[in-house]
């Protein structure tokens, strides 16, 4: 076992220091799993900090974690070398198996940065597989390591979310399955477009009311809804949580109705959070919450971006909802999020992309 660990550590060191090309295979496994390479006793000390960083709860309405952590020993690392998300962590001089592994992996320059720069993260993309992210976390003691995880929690989560979104984007945005004619018509008629996958349909298109509804699998037990609503001659004053809530409720009560018009969608009261984020280079209010019927009976999660576009003087509301009572919804919600962020206005598209889309109408 010792010889195996030493050989594997040497293999890792060669890859990290030489910048060799990764295995041609794509990284594998669920998007929401992160493999933690750590000794069991050390892991117990830092587990709460790691869980606070990566296992944040979202409500769908059942509580679900953003990521699930799976700990393995250092001498088992070969088993997970093609996994999408890997994190190796230990104090640098604890003499544990993982600490010895890290000492073989990291050169002297990186060791100094990891020891003395509390904000330094050693990230390696595509080490053993394409679209893989491996992070090394270490410090001089277990207490400092725990503090470093807490101090860098936002950046750590961001890195794993970004590469996960990148993988999803590459799998979702397939030209073979995009509906160019729908995208082109939206661009021509309204000055914006969004990636429309082959299994989405335009459920409602209301030019006079600035509303478009894209719907997938209506009537099934796994539905996805996306709507785009915009306000002309608007201002950034709309960008606050109260306005977003009011506009969404007004929009869904009008357009998200049951087939007999007896009920409509509203925002549920028990989960509603907002944050200020960047949406394709614009300041945006991100809203996540639960939708419900005003008479109860069904519901699910939604995600919403609301932003002001100074070029057109419009406020855009880009919104995605899920109805999937029988399913785990975290990954589906992430897919919706990635699709929402494919939204582009006319000015954001290259001339070649505009021509490609508009020519599809001929």
Angle between helices 97-105 and 2-18 (to 10 degrees): 30
Task: Return the pLDDT at 172.
Answer: 87
Domain spans of the chain, in order of start: 2-171, 175-359
Neighbours of 113 (CB within 10 A): 13
Question: Tokens 């001339």, residue?
Answer: 351
Sheet harboring 85-89: ordered strands across? 68-72, 33-37, 85-89, 133-137, 122-125
Residue 266 structure tokens: 């509203």
Q: Kindly report whether the global pTM for this prediction surpasses the value 0.85.
A: yes
Given pLDDT bands bounded at 50, 70 and 90, which one contains residue 140?
Answer: confident
Neighbours of 129 (CB within 10 A): 20
164 CA to centre of own chain: 6
Given pLDDT bands bounded at 50, 70 and 90, which one contains residue 22?
Answer: low
User: Whole-number mean pLDDT of the chain?
Assistant: 90
Task: Return the pLDDT at 121.
Answer: 79
Mean pLDDT to the nearest integer, 242-253: 96
Is residue 12's pLDDT more than 70?
Answer: no
Mean pLDDT to the nearest integer, 171-185: 90
- Name beta bridge partners: 282: 279
Please tell me the class of the 175-359 domain: alpha beta
**Is residue 71 a contact partner of residue 85, using CB atoms and an 8 Å limit?**
no
Q: How far apart are CA 151 and CA 236, in angstroms?
A: 33
Is residue 194's pLDDT more than 60?
Answer: yes
For 24-49, write each residue's pLDDT tens digit: 799 999 999 999 999 999 999 999 99
Residue 147 structure tokens: 């503090």
Q: What count of Cα atoms within 13 Å lies in the side-chain half-sphere of residue 233? A: 0
Residue 18 structure tokens: 């030489």
């Amino acid at each position: 076992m010792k010889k195996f660990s030493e050989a594997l550590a040497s293999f890792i060191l060669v890859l990290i220091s030489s910048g060799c090309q990764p295995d041609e295979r794509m990284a594998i496994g669920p998007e929401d799993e992160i493999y933690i390479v750590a000794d069991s006793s050390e892991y117990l000390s830092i587990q709460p900090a790691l869980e606070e960083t990566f296992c944040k709860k979202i409500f769908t309405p059942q509580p679900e974690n953003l990521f699930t952590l799976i700990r393995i020993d250092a001498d088992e690392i070969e088993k997970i070398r093609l996994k999408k998300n890997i994190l190796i962590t230990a104090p640098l001089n604890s003499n544990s198996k993982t600490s010895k592994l890290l000492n073989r992996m990291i050169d002297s320059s990186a060791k100094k940065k990891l020891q003395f720069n509390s904000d330094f993260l050693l990230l390696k993309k595509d080490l053993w597989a394409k679209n893989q992210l491996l992070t090394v976390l270490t410090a001089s003691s277990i207490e400092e390591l725990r503090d470093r995880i807490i101090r860098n929690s936002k950046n750590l989560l961001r890195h794993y979310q970004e590469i996960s979104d990148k993988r999803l984007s590459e799998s979702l945005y397939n030209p073979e399955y995009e509906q160019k004619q729908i995208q082109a018509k939206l661009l021509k008629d309204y000055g914006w477009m969004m990636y429309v996958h082959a299994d989405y349909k335009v459920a409602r298109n209301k030019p006079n009311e600035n509303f478009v509804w894209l719907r997938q699998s209506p009537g099934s037990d796994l539905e996805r809804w996306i709507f785009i609503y915009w306000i002309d001659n608007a201002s950034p004053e709309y960008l606050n949580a109260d306005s977003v809530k009011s506009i969404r409720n007004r929009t869904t009560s009008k357009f998200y109705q049951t087939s007999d018009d007896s009920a409509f969608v509203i925002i549920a009261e028990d989960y509603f959070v907002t944050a200020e984020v960047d949406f394709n280079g614009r300041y945006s209010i991100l809203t996540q919450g639960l939708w419900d019927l005003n008479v109860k009976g069904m519901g699910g999660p939604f995600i919403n971006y609301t932003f002001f576009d100074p070029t057109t003087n419009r406020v855009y509301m880009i919104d995605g909802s899920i109805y999937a009572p029988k399913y785990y919804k975290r990954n589906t919600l992430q897919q919706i999020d990635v699709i929402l962020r494919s939204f582009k206005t006319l000015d954001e598209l290259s001339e070649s992309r505009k021509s490609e889309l508009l020519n599809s109408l001929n």
